[in-house]
Amino acid sequence: MIRIAIQSKGRLNEESLELLKDSGVTVDNQKRKFLGRAANYPLEVLYLRDDDIPEVVADGSADIGIVGLNEVEEKGVAVEIVRQLGFGSCRVSLAVPKDAEYSGLEWFQGKIIATSYPNILKRFLSEKGISASVRTIMGSVEIAPAAGIADAIFDIVSSGGTLISNGLVEVERVLYSQAVLIANPSLSEEKRALLDSLLFRIDAVGSSRGKKYILMNIPSDKVEEAINILPAMRSPTVMPLAASGWSSLHSVVEESELWDKVEKLKALGAEGILILQLDKVIA
Ligand code: PRT
Ligand code: ZN
């Protein structure tokens, strides 16, 4: 049995559960429940506030956890970062009132900075040789300058909309964060094996993200050119069709390049192009 800590509610809850589900691990999202159990995998789920997840994994109350890198860095506890999960992306940045004449980091000398991430901020300031005073506020940090209790803030930014609506501008991006899978560094052999088999599934899910499966019929004398447009993991699959002079070509494409490649393939004479959802990729 392995125990994972995930956020009970909030921005990372849904995607954490979805990742488990896509990995074939079914757990019910009962928000009021503290401890759940997967139906088809030896896994328990501990639902917590994100702030508590790094410590709980570090002290072994949970074996693994899904949490923002920002929380891991803030808590500074000994956990192993096993995977970056590609969701919950944001940055932790310094922001100043928009009419401040910001000239560079020196601006912060002697200023008061409000934040919910005092440890990351203090580390950054001391690395840069800036002496400023750090005021810890849990929640609504962005109103601190307008409320007259700080000169600047250090907070999470994603779209930047919150800063704009509070008359602030982002001036230094200190930490890029996303959801990460963390593990207790001294897992038993049994738990390590369960983690490895879970990672195998998570990686298969991760490798399929942003990719599509494409198949088409193509004149056989154009197959070589088509293969140059469509490099697959090893090489595309080519099969002769019953109609002579035609082949069926199958491959995997990055979604971002999909339409560009489809146009090129059509120009080569490809027909009956099918684009399918990819569920898992096992290399
Ligand atoms: O209750 P609990 O303590 O578990 O949750 P929480 O309220 O502390 O955290 P939650 O659910 O808001 O965020 C969980 C994690 O999501 C964070 O630790 C980050 O790793 C990640 N994340 C990603 C974000 C954002 N994007 C984000 N935009 N966390 C917070 N925000 C806030 C930001 O502080 C700002 O005030 O959302 C606001 C909107 O941001 P803009 O820039 O899009 O306007
Ligand atoms: Zn929190």
Atom of ligand 1 nearest to the CA of 48: 4
55-78 b/e (C-beta count within 10 Å ≥ 16 → b): bbbbeeebbbbbbbbbbbbbbeee
Q: How does pLDDT run across 235-269, given as a tens digit for each residue?
A: 788 999 988 999 999 999 999 999 999 999 999 99
In which residue ranges of the chain is CATH 3.30.70.120 found?
210-277
CATH number belonging to domain 210-277? 3.30.70.120
Q: Give the residue carrying structure tokens 């000398």.
A: 109
Residue 32 has a pLDDT of 61
pLDDT at 31 over 70: no
- Give the closest residue (by CA) to ligand 1 atom 34: 156
In whole angstroms, give the CA distance from residue 258 to residue 245.
26
- Per the prediction, the chain carries an average pLDDT of 94
**In the chain, which segments carry CATH 3.40.190.10?**
2-87+178-207, 90-177
Q: How far is the CA of 138 from the centre of ligand 2 (A)?
A: 9
Q: What is the CATH number of domain 2-87+178-207?
A: 3.40.190.10
Ligand 2 center from residue 17 Cα (angstroms): 18
In the prediction, which pLDDT does 235 show? 74
- Contact residues of ligand 1, CB 6 A cut-off: 7, 10-12, 49-51, 68, 70-71, 88, 90, 142, 155-162, 177
φ/ψ (deg, to 5) at 199: -65, -35
Per-residue pLDDT reduced to its tens digit, 99-118: 999 999 999 999 999 999 99
Identify the three-state secondary structure at position 200.
helix
Q: Please give the Cα distance from 44 to 63 (Å, whole number).
A: 10
pLDDT of res. 231: 73
pTM of the model: 0.90
Which residues contact residue 215 at a Cβ distance below 8 angstroms, ignoring those fewer than 6 apart? 248, 249, 250, 251, 273, 274, 276
User: How close is the Cα of 208 to the center of ligand 1, in Å?
Assistant: 26
Judge contact between 138 and 122, C-beta under 8 A.
no
pLDDT at 281: 87
**Domain over 90-177 is classified CATH 3.30.1370.110:** no
User: Residue of the nearest CA to atom 7 in ligand 1?
Assistant: 10
Average pLDDT over residues 15-30: 89
The secondary structure of residue 142, as a DSSP letter, is G
Sign of the CA dihedral with 257 first, then 83, 178, and 63 last: positive
The burial class, CB within 10 Å (0-12 / 13-18 / 19+), for 155 is buried
- Report phi then psi at 44, rounded to 5: -105, 145
142-199 confidence digits (pLDDT tens) = 999 999 999 999 999 999 999 999 999 999 999 999 999 999 999 999 999 999 999 9
